[in-house]
Every structure is written in C-alpha cells, then in structure tokens.
Amino acid sequence: MSSLQALIFDVDGTLADTERDGHRVAFNQAFKQAGLDWHWSVELYGKLLAVTGGKERMAYYLQKFNTDFPTDDKTPLMIKELHASKTVHYTELLSTGAIPLRPGVKRLIHEARENNMRIAISTTTTPENVTALLEHALAEKSSDWFEVIAAGDIVPAKKPAADIYIWALEKLKLKPTDCLAFEDSENGIKSSLGADLKTIITINDYTKNHDFSGAALVLNEMGEPNKGFKTLSGNNHGASFINLDLLKKIHAAV
C-alpha cells in the first residue's frame, strides 16, 4: 500500500461543535426574522439532525414535526429564502469567534501542513459557512490551506450518500486507500465508508449514541499532548492524541 497522502475532514461536529450553538441558533434567528413562530429546541434539533443539509432539514421539519403548517408549491422557495437568511446569521455568529475548533484540530492541521500532508474538506454545509469557520476559528485565509473544499449543493445527494467524498477524491486525484476521513456522525461515516475511506470518529453530545460500525477508531475527541483522548473503540496504537504518527499507523494497519 502507498503512504498516507491526504486527510479529509468533515466540518460540522468534527472540526467544531457547530450544531447546537451555531446552526440551530441561526435557524431560529431566521425563523423569527421571517415572522414564523417555529423554534427548534436543543432536543428537537437532535431529531432533525437525522437529515443533513439545512434546506433538507427544514423540509423534514415540516413533513414530520410541524404538519399543521400549510405547504404548497411556493414552500421550496420559502425554504430557500429562510436558508439564505440562516446562512447570514450563522456566518455573523462565527465572525464573533463564538465557536472554537475542537481540541486537537488546530494542532493536527498545522502538523499536516508542516509535513506536506494534503488536506481537504467534505461537508454537507454551505461553502460560506466553511470559509467563515476556518477564517475565524483557524486562521486568516486558512481556507486556502485546503486543496479541495467539497461542500453544500456541489453534489445533489448529501450525506449519508457517498457522493461528496467521491467528488473530493476525484478532485484530489487520489484513491480512497491513499486517504483517511474524519467524521462525527452516523450519516457522516455512512458517507465516508460508502466511498471506501478508512474513518476516524470523534463523537459529540448529539452523536455519542450513533452506530459507528466500521470505524477505524472512535474517540471522544482528537486530544492534546496534555489532555489525551478517550478511546471508545478501535486500535489507538498506544497513542493518547491524534498526530501524523498515529494516523500513519492507522492507515498502514490491515
């Protein structure tokens, strides 16, 4: 097998805990601004996360949780407008630095860059959201550090479909066996495994009970040298935080 060539990161829940205090809050702001009485609680949002993509999530909400709301052929346009407003609220929130990267993420990305390891993004979220998170939580212009940013509506079928990872691999001109993927959710790992990528999971509060069968390693977080990760399943090769040395061992393991 060839050496490890690239790391492909999911964004929401993996690079940062963006859902509960980021996306959810922005959706509620957009609903309020539009004069709607919709409100997504922390608990309801956990259920809505079954569907990836903000527009798709609003459609699912109307179908399953707010069935009294009248819908017609103008509903998709209303959802599109609400989503555009939500993106404005979300990127504004990120610009205040409200959402930091998860432990170990910044260190690992810097280590990857210092060692010429290629890095890419594969996410369901809107491209502006990715840029805003990277610029405000990682470093100015850091979206340029990622060779490929596969995001949003670039493929019609969102996660759990494998399409977004396959698209990223095509752009990178790499085989799945050349790369590792980083995910936090069941929809995410279905997508990455569907593209035949070995996958490392860092769980969060919304995803801790998800099924991560097939993951190479499941951790509570990436960990730091002074505060190691907890291993939930898989072979950590005796390491206590994610670094390139551990990733190369995971990549080489059969």
> Annotated catalytic sites, by residue?
10, 12
Q: 26, 74, 29, 33: which is closest to 54 by C-alpha?
A: 26
124 counts as binding ligand XBP under rule CB under 6 A: yes
Residue 52 touches ligand XBP, criterion: CB under 6 A = yes
215 close to 197: Cβ distance less than 8 angstroms = no
**Interface pick for ligand XBP out of 91, 123, 199, 202 (rule CB under 6 A):** 123
Interface residue with ligand XBP among 91, 131, 187, 202 (CB under 6 A) is 187
| 15 closest CA partner among 99, 96, 101, 93 | 101
Instruction: State yes or no: residue 13 binds Mg ion (CB under 5 A).
Output: yes
Helix, strand, coil share (%) of the chain residues, nearest 5: 45, 15, 40
Among 53, 104, 176, 223, binds ligand XBP (CB under 6 A): 53
Which phi-psi region, left, alpha or beta, contains residue 36 (left: φ > 0; alpha: ψ -120 to 50)?
beta
**The only residue of 159, 198, 210, 251 in contact with ligand XBP, by rule CB under 6 A:** 159
- 63 vs 69: CA distance, rounded Å: 9
The listed partner (ligand XBP, Mg ion, none) that binds 23, CB under 5 to 8 Å by sort, is ligand XBP
Q: Do the strands 118-122 and 148-150 form a parallel or antiparallel pair, or are they unpaired?
A: parallel
Question: Is residue 10 involved in binding Mg ion (CB under 5 A)?
Answer: yes
Residue 182 contacts residue 10 (beta carbons within 8 Å): yes
Using the rule CB under 5 A, is 188 a contact of Mg ion? yes
Q: Compute the least distance from the CB of residue 184 to ligand XBP, in Å.
A: 7
Q: What residues make contact with ligand XBP under the rule CB under 6 A? A: 10-13, 19, 23, 52-54, 57, 86, 123-126, 129, 159, 185, 187-188
Q: What residues make contact with Mg ion under the rule CB under 5 A? A: 10, 12-13, 184-185, 188
